[in-house]
Chains A and B, each alone.
Chain A
Amino acid sequence: MSGISTQSTSASRALELFGAYSPIALTAALLALVPLRYSDSRTMMTVIIIGMVFAAYTIAFNIILGSTGQLFLCTGALAGIGGFTSAILTSKHGWPFIPSIVLGTLLASAIGGLLSWVAVRRSLDAIFTGVVTLAFSLSYENLVLGRKDLTGGENGLRVKAAADTILTTRVAPYYVFLGLVVVYLVLYRLIERSHVGWAFRSLRDDEVAAELSGVNVTRYRVYAGLIGSAMLGLAGALFAHNREFIAPTTFAFGAVDVRVLVMLVFGGIGSMLGPVIGAVALTIVDEALVDFAQLRIMLYGIVIVVLFLGFRRGVVPSVAALRERLTHLGRRSTPAAVKPPGSTPRS
């Protein structure tokens, strides 16, 4: 491997770039075909649009949990910050569409970065991250329910700023969100290949060794919090304008966080395409079980338990690893996709 990159010619560099980004192109091409089948049904278009939105959420969550081991239990709340901020600014304060989305994204990012910063500078950070992010989820929900003057409380809020744009047509929004997913995937790859990605990998493998090698573990965790939360906020804001109506349930913990977690673990924590695979799979399963909607939450819980007991690396990577082990008997399988953050206590 090093032998090749030593004499890397421009041809081999081009080949390497192709190898890095072609999976994204292929995924995009495949997903672009989906509406061909469903474009005449508004219901089905809504289903697959929401599937894309969740793919975007899950990619963002993967940057936080998969790349840097922070269990953010507030993906819905962060998306909701983006969504409600943008919705309130446009409907109550007459802001134009784009600046409102930018502000919603920035606000989500700042909050996510702050939560990261609070939790991560201490040992026991997995616990503190869980606690502050869950507490934030509840704060967000109570704020949305309590500030009826802004959010409409339980009655929800009409969002009209994108009423005459392609975001509210039947088919085009799917491609908008597919575009968002592609941008997120490219961003994921860019990060992975930059020094930031190297820092992420090192701190996920071993925090102490990373610190000793000069990696500012706290700083890179906060970076992941900032980036992932911005992505959640942006997706949430766009989704709000697409739905034209948001309510507390749109971004509720039970509706978003649990699903996103299941999608990520199913597809494979810490892999680039895992979130997309998980989102597609779960969308299909949900649709198949549409008549048992009440059972859904319970099923998600069972899936979480089963996945974490049985397939800690994610179902897709586990199956791939199994196949690899069968074909290359004797060779080591793929490196662990997810390992909880450094397994040694710090003082």
Chain B
Amino acid sequence: MTILRLRRVEKHFGGLPAVAGVDLDVEAGEILALVGPNGAGKSTLLKAISGLQPPTRGSIEFDGRRIEGMGAHDVRRLGVAMVLQTPRWFESMTVEENVALGSLFGSVGRRPSLSTARGHARRALEFVGLADRAGEDVASLTLHQQRFLELARALAGEPRLLLLDEVMAGLNDTELQASIDIVRTARRELGVTVIWVEHVMKAVMSLAERIVVLNFGQVLADGEPREVMTDPHVVSAYLGDEIDIHG
């Protein structure tokens, strides 16, 4: 089943196209890696899907509904959760409250009660391994833990589509493996579909089932990981960026 369908999606900033006509179909349950050189438009595309920066043109259909004109909060409530490239959180709230907020307002369907939301938050925190930090300030967490916190806030609403923007940048090997496991488990247990922007090729090659390469705002290649990453077009697009599919 196709859960997300993009048609001729464009996003312009002051006349310059950051995303220049993207067509994409994503199957339910897929883990799709979105890669491409810096400035290719990956983050912009995710923000367009999430409603944070509505596209200039084109249509976005999630689960059979057009969402391109909706606000980010409505998109989230339909079951599309996004984790941004740089972590953002609520500084007046504890770790647990941060995650509970994601359940309270970001759940599909009816808004849960405060205590239910706290319950969801604790489950989500356990899921990402932050249960013991529940009562602390977010500022006291490491960058990697802050990303996990955001992941927990996204998962707390039990979304059906998860948009992740470079959540694995700068992690050491253990942390990287932990992240990969979390995404995998989330897909297995919650059946969530994942679109995931990543530069860390090692992680991409171990987790992704499908790779879409974006270059100058357009889809350059789309398919099986090994196939795509050895495609000469892709290799030349990455010229200058190191590309090392074997990690």
The interface of chain A, by Cβ under 8 A from chain B, is 1-3, 5-6, 194-195, 198-199, 201-202, 204-206, 208-218, 332, 335-336, 339, 347
Contact = CB atoms under 8 A, between A and B. Distances in A.
Interface stretch (B28-36, B102-110, B181-189, B210-218): B102-110
Nearest to B83: A212
B92 A336 contact: yes
B73 A209 contact: no
Nearest to A344: B88
Interface in B14-35: none
A214 B105 contact: yes
Given A2-B122, A3-B135, A332-B137, A216 B90 contact: no
Nearest to A121: B71
Given A2-B135, A214-B73, A209 B94 contact: no
Interface string B101-143: 1101111000100100010001000000000001101010000
B114 A212 contact: no
Interface of B: 50-53, 71-74, 76-77, 81-82, 84, 88-94, 96-97, 100-102, 104-107, 111, 114, 118, 122, 134-135, 137, 139, 153, 157
Contact of A1 (B107, B135, B139): B135
A206 B101 contact: no
A336 B137 CA distance: 13
A161 to B, nearest CB: 42
Given A2-B118, A214-B76, A209 B111 contact: no
A171 to B, nearest CB: 41
Contacts, number: 100
A209 B91 CA distance: 11
A75 B40 CA distance: 48
Q: Would you list the 7 A-B pairs with minimal beta carbon distance, nearest first?
A: A214-B106, A214-B105, A205-B90, A211-B72, A1-B135, A209-B88, A214-B76
B93 A216 contact: no
A206 B135 contact: no
Contact of B118 (A5, A202, A212, A335): A5
Contacts of A198: 97, 100-101, 104-105, 114
Given A2-B118, A2-B135, A205-B91, A212 B82 contact: yes
Contacts of A215: 73, 101, 105
B114 A214 contact: no
A216 B91 CA distance: 19
Contacts of B100: 198
Nearest to A203: B90
Contacts of B92: 201, 204-205, 335-336
A347 B76 CA distance: 18
Contacts of B102: 213-214
A208 B51 CA distance: 11
Nearest to A205: B90
A214 B120 CA distance: 15
A218 B71 CA distance: 10
Which of B50, B73, B106 gathers the greatest number of chain A CB atoms within 10 Å? Answer: B73
A209 B106 CA distance: 11
Nearest to A335: B92
Given A1-B94, A5-B118, A336-B92, A202 B73 contact: no
A261 to B, nearest CB: 22
Nearest to A209: B88
A212 B89 contact: no
B94 A202 contact: no
Given A208-B84, A212-B88, A332-B137, 4 more contacts: A1-B134, A211-B76, A213-B157, A215-B101
A324 to B, nearest CB: 14
Contacts of A209: 88-90
9 contacts: A1-B94, A201-B93, A205-B93, A212-B82, A213-B153, A213-B157, A214-B76, A214-B106, A335-B91
Nearest to A8: B115
A214 B88 CA distance: 14
A1 B93 CA distance: 12
A195 B104 contact: yes
Nearest to A199: B105
Contacts of B157: 213-214
A250 to B, nearest CB: 37
Contacts of A332: 137, 139
A212 B101 contact: no
Which of A195, A204, A206, A213 gathers the greatest number of chain B CB atoms within 10 Å? Answer: A213
A141 B90 CA distance: 40
Nearest to B114: A195
Given A213-B102, A215-B105, A336 B72 contact: no
Nearest to A2: B134
